[in-house]
């Protein structure tokens, strides 16, 4: 077989799979819509304001509700919010696993 | 078929190292014969070949192609004369592709790909169907007796075999004129004789051949129809077979 | 027409066989390239899907949250403020919210205790977010002991575990009754954590917020649009994820630089000369070189995007988990709803395929414009 035939087949099959993945996203929107709707209902019922993405500190768990200028150290391993905090790791004894 | 009128080629013009490779050369190369450019190295043979082969433009002078208008460019009649000195590069490439087949001194084969692909290479940009080209290439390899190497890489071949591949490549687009630059420089006497036999075959098949060489096997061969002697960029002697 | 297509296919054939000559180099280049596209595309998919889901889910959040500040810090707000706020024109409902954080010294995790909303659990019972249940190995019917503000432990029975597909919003939640919340934290009477305000006409929300801020100078109203904006900015290009992106971008530039630095080898240069001498036009050589670049970049792009899709939407982005996890002990496990934005795919295409293809053409173009007779003089 010619190299170009192999290559074009490869490209076509990749494009096809990309299209299929897009189609999958389109088709699964009903079922995803259901779980998004139930999450939205939970948010409404509990009057939540934030996503649960980062649970380590107050200002990362509820960034929308946090104080304007004072992210506190609520967690023993919480880093400073300001740039200097990203340069200094917490002391080793805090980080060691139990 | 080809006429040169006072064609010159100067390198590094206007600089201290200015060098006139071809100096006001006028000559004719007739159709269907073997023409040999004879002369020591540095006499301007190769430069003259590049001028005739549309690879470079002359600094001054004219080069005319007679009676091959139809082959050269679409839309021209057979008897039209084409002056290649004034054509844009795109047309020169077309003419080069249709008119000339080149056999280089160092063969200039592309390493890493197969012999067959090397032979097919000049036909790729013409848009010829690949099956047709392959068939033609295999036939040529068969005729030249190297078809057993079709699938092997060029760097595994001997000098004589490489030259046959280069010849097959030069023939794949079915050119009118085969141009060879010092074809016997890397061959022993036996292989050189064999090469001259192949050239006789081309002549028999109606092709014109132009060879630049300082090898007596070539310019002394019985097949040579015309020998043009060159020295220092000028033609010093011109005549039919001695 | 047919001849023209055939010409392109022939040149593509040669481009492929010429790539196959340097199989090791080109395959590793393809691999690296795919990895780069994979990371960038994963990031784009992840951020887009998360942003979209955040916007949809947080649409249910309160229109307005009113906090009280004392010396610049949050302080429980008197519930009595709510009565005056509900008198403001346009306000349909004011509900006090009771919520707070609980640090569990055993697991070293932070939980969020919530005591507002309808459908509360029974007395001394709790609902658990499925992240908490997973971390503490608890099931419905088990007991969880929480250490109160006065030092005494209080035992709660787990009445229900929240659905596992709610982890994006509720992984670390512990829902508790309001009176239990007050006792546990010794919360001051007549106070709430903050107030959730509903506004009848959404257009009037900023006006209502301005009135509240004017009438109660010690409060800070937070609009729903601000909450949504928080998430838009967290996952903004300039947000924290940019570090990951920068890493990827640096990697890709290293590759491009490496590829460019190696440039056209003498052999490639000679090959271009050979091609020109046997009748290839400058244009043909350029097509050849752009095909060589495109074969690598297009394959890498398509493969990278497909893999990124699988990575983010089928395997929940395991490569980003560490970056998102940070120092937190409790990490939510969520599956994002697949969402592909064609516009972003196009942007990604132009960012990845084009620069590479161009950077392969330019040096070849310089080499391809030389006179074909240079091949004769080698």
Domain ranges of chain A: 49-98
Check C11 against B125: CB less than 8 A apart: yes
Where a domain ends, among C189, C223, C257? C223
> Can you say how many angstroms the Cα of residue C253 is from the centroid of all Cα atoms in its chain?
23
Measured in angstroms, the CA of B89 and the nearest CA of chain C are apart by 8
Q: Is A32 on the interface with C (CB under 8 A)?
A: yes
Check A3 against C16: CB less than 8 A apart: yes
How would residue A82 be classed by pLDDT, with cut points 50, 70 and 90?
very low
Where a domain ends, among C161, C190, C223? C223
Same-domain pairing of C109 and C126: yes
Neighbouring C-beta atoms of residue C5, cutoff 10 Å? 10
With beta carbons under 8 A apart, name residues in chain C contacting A49.
Answer: 58, 61-62, 65, 222, 227
Alpha-helical regions (H) of B146-211: 159-171, 189-204
Same-domain pairing of C105 and C24: no
Q: What is the mean pLDDT of each run of 10 residues along chain B (242 residues)?
A: 86 84 86 87 86 86 82 72 81 84 88 91 89 92 89 87 91 90 86 88 88 87 86 81 47
Q: Residue C258's pLDDT is what? A: 66
State whether CATH 3.40.50.300 applies to domain B2-239: yes
In a mutational test of the C interface, the residue from A34, A59, A65, A72 whose CB has the highest number of chain C CBs within 10 Å is: A65
Report the range of poorest mean pLDDT among A18-27, B32-41, C28-37, C324-333: C324-333
Check C173 against A46: CB less than 8 A apart: yes
Q: Residue B242's pLDDT is what? A: 45
The mean per-residue pLDDT over the stretch C109-135 comes to 88
Q: How many residues does chain B have?
A: 242
Q: Residue A72's pLDDT is what? A: 44
Q: Is C218 on the interface with A (CB under 8 A)?
A: no
High-pLDDT (> 90) share of chain C, %:
35
Q: Residue C277: closest CA among chain B residues belongs to which residue? A: B55
Model-level pTM? 0.82
Least CB–CB distance from B55: residue in C14, C271, C371: C371
Enumerate the β-bridge partners of residue B100.
B177
Specify the higher pLDDT residue, C143 or C371.
C143
Check A70 against C129: CB less than 8 A apart: no
Instruction: Say yes or no to pLDDT of C328 above 80.
Output: no
With beta carbons under 8 A apart, name residues in chain C contacting B125.
Answer: 7, 10-11, 279-281, 284
Instruction: Say yes or no to pLDDT of C223 above 60.
Output: yes
Domains of chain B, by residue range, sit at 2-239
Tell me what ipTM this predicted complex has.
0.86
- C346: containing domain: 2-58+230-377
What's the maximum distance between 2 C-alpha atoms anywhere in chain B? 53
Instruction: Say yes or no to pLDDT of C86 above 80.
Output: yes
> Alpha-carbon distance B37 to B174, whole Å?
23
Half-sphere exposure of A22 (CA within 13 A, CB side): 12
Q: Residue A86's pLDDT is what? A: 47
Q: Residue A84's pLDDT is what? A: 47
Q: Residue B67's pLDDT is what? A: 76
Q: Is A69 on the interface with C (CB under 8 A)?
A: yes
> Alpha-carbon distance C333 to C324, whole Å?
11
Q: Residue A10: closest CA among chain C residues belongs to which residue? A: C299
Same-domain pairing of C52 and C136: no
Check C376 against B55: CB less than 8 A apart: yes
Same-domain pairing of C366 and C330: yes
In a mutational test of the C interface, the residue from A55, A60, A79 whose CB has the highest number of chain C CBs within 10 Å is: A55
Same-domain pairing of C12 and C69: no
Classify burial at A67, counting beta carbons within 10 Å of its beta carbon; exposed 0-12, middle 13-18, buried 19 or more.
middle
Q: Residue C95: closest CA among chain A residues belongs to which residue? A: A47
Domain of residue C100, CATH code = 2.40.40.20
Report the range of poorest mean pLDDT among B126-135, C120-129, C238-247, C316-325: C238-247
Enumerate the β-bridge partners of residue C144.
C156
Q: Residue C10: closest CA among chain B residues belongs to which residue? A: B124
Q: Residue C49: closest CA among chain A residues belongs to which residue? A: A25
- The neighbours of chain A, by the rule of 3 or more Cβ pairs under 8 Å, are C
Check B112 against C18: CB less than 8 A apart: yes
Check C373 against B93: CB less than 8 A apart: no
Q: Residue A71's pLDDT is what? A: 45
- Whole-Å CA distances, C112 to A58, A71, C234: 9, 17, 21
With beta carbons under 8 A apart, name residues in chain A contacting C67.
Answer: 65
Check A60 against C328: CB less than 8 A apart: yes
- C71 dihedral zone (left: phi>0; alpha: psi -120 to 50; beta): left
B8 within 8 A of B59, measured Cβ to Cβ: yes
Check A47 against C117: CB less than 8 A apart: yes
- The neighbours of chain B, by the rule of 3 or more Cβ pairs under 8 Å, are C
The mean per-residue pLDDT over the stretch C19-42 comes to 87
State the first-to-last Cα distance of chain B, in angstroms, to the nearest integer. Answer: 22
Can you read off the two tokens belonging to residue C295?
């074969």
Q: Is C63 on the interface with A (CB under 8 A)?
A: no
Measured in angstroms, the CA of C378 and the nearest CA of chain A are apart by 31
Can you read off the two tokens belonging to residue C62?
């309160």
Same-domain pairing of C181 and C198: yes
Same-domain pairing of C111 and C197: yes
Classify burial at B21, counting beta carbons within 10 Å of its beta carbon; exposed 0-12, middle 13-18, buried 19 or more.
buried
Instruction: Say yes or no to pLDDT of C52 above 60.
Output: yes
Q: Residue A73's pLDDT is what? A: 45
Q: Residue C133's pLDDT is what? A: 92
Count of structural domains, chain C: 2
Measured in angstroms, the CA of C286 and the nearest CA of chain B are apart by 12
Check C222 against A32: CB less than 8 A apart: no
Same-domain pairing of C236 and C275: yes
Q: Is A97 on the interface with C (CB under 8 A)?
A: no
Q: Which residue's entry shows tokens 């403020």?
A: C81
Where a domain ends, among C171, C204, C223? C223
Least CB–CB distance from A79: residue in C59, C103, C327: C327
In the stretch 1-20 of chain B, residues with CB closer than 8 A to chain C read none
pLDDT in tens, C235-280: 665 445 555 666 676 677 667 656 655 667 777 888 888 888 888 8
Same-domain pairing of C73 and C142: yes
Least CB–CB distance from C170: residue in A10, A42, A70: A42
Check B50 against C376: CB less than 8 A apart: yes
Q: Residue A68's pLDDT is what? A: 55
Count of B-C CB contacts under 8 Å: 92
pLDDT in tens, C89-100: 999 999 999 999
The mean per-residue pLDDT over the stretch C188-213 comes to 92
With beta carbons under 8 A apart, name residues in chain A contacting C327.
Answer: 56, 75, 77-79, 90
How would residue C77 be classed by pLDDT, with cut points 50, 70 and 90?
very high
DSSP state of C188: P
Count of A-C CB contacts under 8 Å: 191
In a mutational test of the B interface, the residue from C20, C273, C278, C369 whose CB has the highest number of chain B CBs within 10 Å is: C278
Pairing of strands B208-213, B34-38: parallel
């Amino acid at each position: 077989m010619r190299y170009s035939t192999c290559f074009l087949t490869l490209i076509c099959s990749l494009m096809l799979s990309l299209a299929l993945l897009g189609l999958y996203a389109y088709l699964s929107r009903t079922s995803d819509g259901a779980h998004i709707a139930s999450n939205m209902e939970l948010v409404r019922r509990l009057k939540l304001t934030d996503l649960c993405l980062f649970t380590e500190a107050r200002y990362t768990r509820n960034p929308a509700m946090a104080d304007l200028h004072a992210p506190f150290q609520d967690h023993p391993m919480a880093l400073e919010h300001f740039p200097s905090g990203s340069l200094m790791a917490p002391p080793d004894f805090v980080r060691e696993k139990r | 078929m080809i006429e040169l009128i006072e064609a010159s080629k100067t390198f590094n013009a206007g600089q201290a190292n200015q060098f006139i490779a071809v100096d006001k050369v006028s000559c004719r190369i007739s159709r269907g014969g073997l023409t040999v450019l004879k002369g020591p190295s540095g006499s301007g043979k190769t430069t003259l070949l590049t001028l005739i082969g549309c690879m470079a433009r002359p600094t001054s002078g004219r080069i005319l192609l007679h009676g091959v208008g139809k082959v050269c460019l679409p839309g021209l009649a057979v008897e039209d004369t084409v002056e290649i000195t004034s054509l844009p590069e795109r047309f020169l490439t077309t003419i080069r592709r249709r008119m000339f087949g080149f056999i280089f001194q160092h063969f200039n084969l592309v390493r890493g790909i197969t012999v067959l692909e090397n032979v097919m290479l000049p036909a790729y940009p013409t848009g010829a169907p690949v099956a047709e080209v392959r068939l033609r290439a295999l036939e040529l390899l068969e005729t030249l007796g190297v078809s057993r190497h079709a699938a092997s890489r060029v760097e595994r071949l001997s000098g004589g075999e490489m030259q046959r591949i280069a010849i097959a490549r030069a023939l794949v687009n079915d050119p009118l004129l085969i141009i060879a630059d010092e074809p016997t420089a890397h061959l022993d006497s036996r292989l050189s004789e064999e090469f001259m036999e192949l050239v006789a075959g081309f002549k028999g098949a109606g092709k014109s051949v132009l060879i630049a060489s300082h090898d007596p096997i070539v310019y002394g061969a019985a097949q040579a129809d015309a020998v043009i002697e060159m020295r220092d960029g000028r033609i010093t002697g011109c005549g039919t077979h001695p | 027409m047919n001849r023209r297509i055939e010409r392109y296919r022939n040149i593509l054939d040669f481009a492929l066989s010429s790539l196959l000559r340097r199989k090791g180099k080109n395959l590793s280049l393809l691999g690296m390239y795919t990895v780069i596209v994979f990371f960038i595309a994963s990031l784009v998919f992840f951020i887009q899907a998360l942003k979209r889901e955040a916007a949809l889910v947080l649409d249910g959040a309160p229109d307005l949250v009113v906090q009280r500040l004392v010396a610049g810090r949050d302080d429980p707000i008197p519930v009595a403020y709510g009565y005056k706020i509900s008198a403001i024109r346009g306000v349909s409902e004011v509900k006090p919210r009771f919520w707070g954080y609980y640090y569990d010294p055993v697991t070293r995790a932070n939980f969020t205790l919530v005591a507002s909303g309808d459908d509360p659990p029974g007395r001394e019972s709790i609902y658990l977010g499925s992240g908490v249940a997973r971390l503490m190995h608890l099931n419905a019917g088990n007991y969880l002991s929480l250490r109160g503000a006065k030092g005494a432990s209080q035992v709660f029975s787990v009445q229900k575990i929240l659905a596992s597909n709610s982890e994006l919003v509720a992984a670390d939640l512990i829902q508790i009754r309001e009176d239990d919340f007050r006792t546990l934290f010794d919360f001051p009477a007549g106070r709430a954590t903050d107030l959730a305000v509903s506004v009848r006409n959404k257009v009037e929300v900023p006006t209502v917020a301005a009135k509240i801020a004017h009438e109660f100078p010690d409060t800070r109203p937070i609009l729903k649009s601000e909450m949504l904006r928080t998430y838009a900015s967290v996952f903004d290009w300039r947000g924290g994820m940019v570090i990951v992106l920068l890493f990827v971008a640096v990697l890709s530039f290293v590759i491009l630089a490496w590829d460019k630095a190696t440039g056209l080898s003498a052999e490639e240069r000679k090959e271009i000369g050979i091609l020109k001498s046997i009748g290839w036009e400058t244009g043909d050589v350029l097509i050849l070189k752009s095909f060589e670049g495109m074969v690598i970049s297009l394959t890498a792009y398509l493969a990278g995007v497909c893999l990124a899709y699988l990575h983010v939407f089928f395997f929940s982005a395991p490569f980003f988990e560490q970056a998102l996890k940070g120092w937190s002990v409790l990490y939510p496990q969520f599956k994002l709803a697949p969402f592909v934005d064609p516009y972003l795919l196009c942007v990604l295409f132009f960012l990845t395929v084009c620069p590479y293809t161009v950077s392969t053409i330019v040096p070849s173009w310089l080499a391809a414009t030389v006179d074909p007779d240079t091949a004769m003089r080698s």
